[in-house]
Copies of this chain bind each other. A is one copy, B any other.
């Protein structure tokens, strides 16, 4: 059997068979979705749809069984009922298959004797046949470079982020959500029951994987806590590791047990394990995406002193509470600095020039460039935050991107000229159109190397965690993989 740190073959198969494809149902069935996902993700090798009924799908011949595949076969995606799986594993062993990924559920996670027996049986068969198993009860692998995917709308672009996820649904949602947030992945593995390849195997592998600069883990429970703790510690020594623990309440743990058969363990034990391992804990998948955005796009600031620029006094007050509550500092500005900022404005009515800076309506004027630049050049400030709420203009309910872009051009220009760590928060997104504008603005900022967040609290939390991480590592400078 391959060693744990040599799982490359999982991510780069030369050929794939999808078992359970239906010529009549096409996309309506899960196997059809995998086929579509591989086609859209430009999988380079041959794809063999499998169904005893035969036929054709998407111009591809459907083979009756694994043994009928005419060429060597590396990788199998299994979507047939659990009872048929032992025979499939035997057929795969005979064919020389290296790995099988199981969408199929109905094993250990059912909590039944029969389910556990079946899971043990396929593990034994796989072990004897030299096959590694991903799952069962999972979505499997998304690896854009290898052309593998489990969704039909995945990005084909690779990135530095790896994600290990015990839940298939969370893997789908998070991959999609993070992609929309400007995050690109090296490898995502939804591993379900972890009957063979475990979270620890994957962590060991990804810690050494040169394509993966950051690792995130969504985990409900583990069988071997010691091994997992060790794997986390080792991985966290060499790259940032972010962990979300699902099932941290008693009822949540019960749900986890019937979901993936995971022994969730107590919140206290997990808290200790994560702290000792030096990983960054998050409470939601959205917070996880915030951390990725931060690591990818924010250069490491020199400190916690924030200068923030707003339209609207109330927005500035609420934002300031968010930042300070998260542990950031908004230093008061010296009078001469305030006078300097004021010199760029046509009027001071409705304006506040002490930090936070509220430019009122002049926020949209070209003066914003001079104000942001002066703040960026001021040595008393480590990070600039530009707060761009889309919901406070009295005239229209949403904000077309054309109106937003001139403001952002001023901000990105300062960033280009000063290289000061900058953050843009786009919030007050009351309508679907506002979200469209927000996503367009995000793209523009990310291209310029400025991270974007969609709420002040999430920005504050993420940046505080990012600063904590670097403070504890004593000035570690990330080659963070983001655009420069």
The answer to whether A172 touches B320, judged by C-beta atoms less than 8 angstroms apart, is no
The answer to whether B349 touches A106, judged by C-beta atoms less than 8 angstroms apart, is yes
Residue among B27, B172, B318 making CB contact with A170, cutoff 8 Å: B318
Minimum Cβ distance to chain B for residue A329 (Å): 8
The answer to whether A392 touches B173, judged by C-beta atoms less than 8 angstroms apart, is yes
Q: Which residue on chain B has the smallest CB distance to residue A324?
A: B249
The answer to whether A150 touches B349, judged by C-beta atoms less than 8 angstroms apart, is no
User: Assuming A254-B354, A314-B166, is B284 touching A172 (CB within 8 A)?
Assistant: no
User: Assuming A33-B394, A168-B314, A395-B152, is B252 touching A320 (CB within 8 A)?
Assistant: yes
Residue with the greatest number of chain B CB neighbours at <10 A, chosen from A27, A168, A433: A168
The CA-CA distance from A395 to B35 in the complex, in Å, is: 11
The answer to whether A169 touches B258, judged by C-beta atoms less than 8 angstroms apart, is no
Residue with the greatest number of chain B CB neighbours at <10 A, chosen from A249, A313, A431: A313
The answer to whether A255 touches B394, judged by C-beta atoms less than 8 angstroms apart, is no
> Is the C-beta of A77 less than 8 angstroms from some C-beta in chain B?
no
Minimum Cβ distance to chain B for residue A403 (Å): 12
The CA-CA distance from A229 to B254 in the complex, in Å, is: 45
> Interface size of A by Cβ–Cβ distance < 8 Å?
90
The answer to whether B397 touches A430, judged by C-beta atoms less than 8 angstroms apart, is no
> Is the C-beta of A330 less than 8 angstroms from some C-beta in chain B?
yes
Minimum Cβ distance to chain B for residue A79 (Å): 11
Residue among B165, B349, B430 making CB contact with A176, cutoff 8 Å: B430
Q: Which residue on chain B has the smallest CB distance to residue A110?
A: B348
Q: Which residues of B contact A389 (CB under 8 A)?
A: 169, 173
> Is the C-beta of A167 less than 8 angstroms from some C-beta in chain B?
yes
> Is the C-beta of A218 less than 8 angstroms from some C-beta in chain B?
yes
Q: Which residue on chain B has the smallest CB distance to residue A169?
A: B312
> Is the C-beta of A393 less than 8 angstroms from some C-beta in chain B?
yes
Q: Which residues of B contact A455 (CB under 8 A)?
A: 286
Contact indicator per residue, chain A 133-167, by CB within 8 Å of chain B (1) or not (0) = 00001010000000000111100000000000111
Q: Which residues of B contact A254 (CB under 8 A)?
A: 320, 332, 354
> Is the C-beta of A352 less than 8 angstroms from some C-beta in chain B?
yes
The answer to whether B394 touches A151, judged by C-beta atoms less than 8 angstroms apart, is yes
Contact indicator per residue, chain A 290-322, by CB within 8 Å of chain B (1) or not (0) = 000000000000000000000111111110110
Residue among B286, B312, B355, B430 making CB contact with A177, cutoff 8 Å: B430
> Is the C-beta of A30 less than 8 angstroms from some C-beta in chain B?
yes
Minimum Cβ distance to chain B for residue A77 (Å): 12
Q: Which residues of B contact A218 (CB under 8 A)?
A: 314
Q: Which residues of B contact A258 (CB under 8 A)?
A: 313, 352, 354, 358
> Is the C-beta of A391 less than 8 angstroms from some C-beta in chain B?
yes
> Is the C-beta of A406 less than 8 angstroms from some C-beta in chain B?
no
> Is the C-beta of A405 less than 8 angstroms from some C-beta in chain B?
no
**A-B complex: 10 closest residue pairs judged by Cβ atoms:** A167-B314, A259-B313, A169-B312, A170-B314, A249-B324, A173-B391, A252-B321, A169-B392, A258-B352, A251-B330
| CB<8 Å pairs between A and B, sample of 13 | A105-B350, A152-B394, A169-B311, A169-B312, A170-B392, A173-B430, A180-B431, A218-B314, A246-B321, A252-B318, A255-B358, A258-B358, A259-B313
